[in-house]
Structure 1
Amino acid sequence: MSDNRPVILVTGADLAPQAMALLNGCELVFAGASPTEDDVVALCGRHDPAGIIVRYSKVGEAAMLAAPSLKVISKHGSGVDTIDQAAARARGIKVVAAVGANAAAVAEHAMALLLACAKSVVTLNARMHSGHWDKATHQSVELDGRTVGVIGLGAIGLRFARMADAMGMRVLGVDPFAQSVPGHVQRVDLDTVWREADAISLHCPLTPENTRLLNRSTLARCKRGVLIVNTARGGLIDELDLLDALNSGQVAHAGLDSFCKEPMTAPHPFHGHPRLTLSPHVGGVSAEAYVKMGVAAARNALAVLHAERGESATL
């Protein structure tokens, strides 16, 4: 550090101006648009940050070892699976997240994917642009009266559930950690979702316990022709098992915004599949969410740093 200001490393190229204003008492170091984990480690060794705001890349034990002054790792978003939380706990480093900051954006994207799956929007658009008129052969799925299983009832899952209810869908919800759920969500177990849901939308964090939650066995227990939406984490789905289920018709269509490996490698078995609608993990990307996540990440980081110094923060 060149002065007494704490260094904050941002694993990205930018932050919202509102977040930058909150951090004006800090020295900011930006890692660039697509930093690798090695880039983050090198920058930690060079700048010894007191805090890291995580936008892209992973932050593992090596980065923490390279930054002895590190006190807080603040996620620019809600999912902290890209941060080695065990290593952070062992070193007394606080891991905080901007919970709920991108809830509206992600829930809306999940609903957009569900509608795209049910109404074949992407396929019809491509056919129209190629000069076809498929009115006589097209059939869509009417979601009114159908059952949707929402796995994960945090801010995003509950917002999605509210939209599904407003559309006339029966909403089943699964979340062992949710303290309470609204009346339009029927709380059930996973077996009930597999058995009764016409569509399933994933909104839970990725943990060792739920990795590959949707796999050959669980997909086989679902209704034939189920719709699958994932705007959470790619590791929740066994991608090859999903592909088999799509090819067999067990899954009618899937809308995916998250993948086991990101960026998705090319060529990929998903590429060109007629019953897959894909987006590049942009569910939380909106102008509004960018500001909300940046401000929350900055506030969370500053709160920890102020507490470490025995100060009360006015943010």
Structure 2
Amino acid sequence: MLNKPVILVTGADLAPQALALLGDYEVVYAGKTPLAADLVALAQRHDPVGIIVRYGAVTPEIMDAAPALKVISKHGSGTDTIDKPAAAARGIEVTAAVGANAAAVAEQAMALLLGCAKSVAQLNERMHAGHWDKATHKSVELAGATIGLIGLGAIGRRFARMCDAMGMRVIGFDPFAGDLPDYIEPVDLETIWRVADAISLHCPLTSENRAMVNAQTLARCKPGVILVNTARGGLIDEAALLAAVGSGHVAMAGLDSFVVEPMTVPHIFHGQPGFLLSPHIGGVTSAAYVNMGVAAVRNTLDVLARAEALAKAG
């Protein structure tokens, strides 16, 4: 009996619903925190036809260690950890589970926005310490405020709908988005910085927008702006944000992603007031885990089926 072709998963597991679709393949797991050297060794040993990316980066060295590799499928929507030019040069297709975690991430963005506006964590800590700050505390009312969205894909649009339902004015920037619903007002990026009372990032990380939130752009924002990031940490110059929050120019930052992940310990944000932090878990829900796994597997199988059809035709 011939050995089954291998799918390498850069993680420790897949949802059972996703795994059930891979009956014709042997699935090899790289573990919870695979290093590049681990992935190279596994690729050399198993020569996978597909890699499903959960954690870690997929480098040219990993691709070269797997001559049979035809597809790299992201278990999620962001493909910045995959060297896409290297994949294209080797004829390897890169796919993403676009929209599979949109509900989960949009909800996390809303949780961070509300947490910042309503001082949820700070008031909880004060209450547990026996304080009653009703006479001195005022929260931010979001109804009537302007939310500026950078990125209007599946997550950004879902978050926009939630903000609209709360009575917020929604403005957004995305040069690639068309057919926007009428409650999103398209604007240029400069308008976002100048007008928004709160800004939420929902765009992929590219070489062009790395550190787009920096000392210069933050200085152009309204005093007291709230910043939310559930996209990629590299979109923000973290030292510049720390300075802006410290000065009070940025009222609060709700962050679910960071330049280096896992977050370094110690980190410049640790112990600093004005930061509401979560460990890049926006897309980590039971439903999203299934949706992303199934989408990643289906994308993988679609590419492999096309490759097989082309091989037979040739």
1:130-173 CA-partner distances (Å, limit 9, x unpaired): 22211111110000000000000000000000000000000001
User: Equivalent residue for 1:290?
Assistant: 289
User: Equivalent residue for 1:168?
Assistant: 167
Mark the runs of 5 or more structure 2 residues left unpaired by the alignment: none
User: Equivalent residue for 2:205?
Assistant: 206
User: Equivalent residue for 1:22?
Assistant: 21
Q: C-alpha separation between the residues in 2 aligned to 1:6 and 1:143?
A: 53
1:230-266 CA-partner distances (Å, limit 9, x unpaired): 0000000000000000011110000000000000011
* 1:139-158 aligned within 5 A: 139-158=138-157
Helix, strand or coil: the match of 1:310?
Answer: helix
* 1:87-106 aligned within 5 A: 87-106=86-105
1:34-81 CA-partner distances (Å, limit 9, x unpaired): 111221111111111000000000001000010000000000000000
**TM-score normalised by structure 2 residue count:** 0.97
- Using the TM superposition, give the Cα deviation of residue 3 of structure 1 relative to its aligned residue in structure 2, in angstroms: 3.1
User: Equivalent residue for 1:217?
Assistant: 216
Percent sequence identity over aligned pairs: 69
User: Equivalent residue for 1:133?
Assistant: 132
1:153-197 CA-partner distances (Å, limit 9, x unpaired): 000000000000000000001000012211000000011111110
Q: C-alpha separation between the residues in 1 aligned to 2:205 and 2:240?
A: 18
Q: C-alpha separation between the residues in 2 aligned to 1:177 and 1:303?
A: 25
Q: C-alpha separation between the residues in 1 aligned to 2:178 and 2:63?
A: 33
* 1:39-78 aligned within 5 A: 39-78=38-77
1:171-224 CA-partner distances (Å, limit 9, x unpaired): 001000012211000000011111110000000000011000100000000000
* 1:228-307 aligned within 5 A: 228-307=227-306
Q: CA RMSD in A?
A: 0.9
Helix, strand or coil: the match of 2:148?
Answer: strand
1:60-119 CA-partner distances (Å, limit 9, x unpaired): 100001000000000000000000000000000000000000000000000000000000
Q: C-alpha separation between the residues in 2 aligned to 1:18 and 1:229?
A: 32
Q: C-alpha separation between the residues in 1 aligned to 2:38 and 2:3?
A: 24
Helix, strand or coil: the match of 2:199?
Answer: strand
Which residue identity lines up with residue 124 of structure 1 in the other structure? L
Q: C-alpha separation between the residues in 1 aligned to 2:35 and 2:212?
A: 28
Q: C-alpha separation between the residues in 2 aligned to 1:42 and 1:4?
A: 19
Which residue identity lines up with residue 301 of structure 1 in the other structure? T
Helix, strand or coil: the match of 1:292?
Answer: helix
- Using the TM superposition, give the Cα deviation of residue 278 of structure 1 relative to its aligned residue in structure 2, in angstroms: 0.2
Which residue identity lines up with residue 70 of structure 2 in the other structure? K
**TM-score normalised by structure 1 residue count:** 0.97
- Using the TM superposition, give the Cα deviation of residue 308 of structure 1 relative to its aligned residue in structure 2, in angstroms: 0.6
State the 4+ residue runs in structure 1 displaced beyond 4 angstroms: none
- Using the TM superposition, give the Cα deviation of residue 4 of structure 1 relative to its aligned residue in structure 2, in angstroms: 3.9
Q: C-alpha separation between the residues in 2 aligned to 1:130 and 1:37?
A: 45
User: Equivalent residue for 1:116?
Assistant: 115
User: Equivalent residue for 2:84?
Assistant: 85
Helix, strand or coil: the match of 2:309?
Answer: coil
Which residue identity lines up with residue 106 of structure 1 in the other structure? V
Q: C-alpha separation between the residues in 2 aligned to 1:5 and 1:17?
A: 19
Helix, strand or coil: the match of 1:110?
Answer: helix
Q: C-alpha separation between the residues in 2 aligned to 1:227 and 1:244?
A: 14
- Greater mean deviation of Cα atoms: 131-140 or 25-34: 131-140
Helix, strand or coil: the match of 2:253?
Answer: strand
Q: C-alpha separation between the residues in 1 aligned to 2:98 and 2:119?
A: 32
